[in-house]
Structure 1
């Protein structure tokens, strides 16, 4: 009997802590069939805009739709690549410059699958998952961010 997989909550309130990243990596040391991991960390940049300098990004999402879309992407990537595991964490709320807002972690028996899957996963998350970022500027203004 096949078990129906359900969407996992990928959202973290605020920045993704270095401790969370380290713990996630450490949790894989017992999985001895893994030969390669690929990790992407998205960090908030201090971009200089016409309106002012970015000091943080406030992330919002249409959560139900975003979780469904992330699940759909996750299932497609699992079907395409021979992965052992995959983790996606995306911030909601305010994340300051220099902090981590996206953590994508793929693992497989061989490095190429982990690397290729991680890259495709990041690109699809940025293009397809309904998450928006409002850049907070040092002059108390804000502008909506466009994903590129």
Structure 2
């Protein structure tokens, strides 16, 4: 690998651009350390999962630009982006990442609000009289 590889991850309204290169395991999101950006432990684990799956936690530096959505959506988008970037580096990582379910794009998003309704499905209370 001569320089960095780039991949995109998406989840709900969140979009992350992932830049991965050989290094010593530093992960930054929007110019902050990922443990400072994602304060909850389970969100930090989401970001680490693809690297742990291919035993690359201390072999790659990851820089992530995250926009849109909330912190959970951004963490899951980062997970997908890192997994895709790792495949760009070495296609032999694909079977391990696929088996762990890290290459599947979760397309679920918020349903739009319909007119005449209070929310997407919740209607106003009906009164017969």
- When you count strand as a share of all residues, which structure comes out higher? 1
Higher Cα radius of gyration: 2
TM over 0.5: no
How does the TM-score come out when normalised to structure 1?
0.30
- When you count helix as a share of all residues, which structure comes out higher? 2
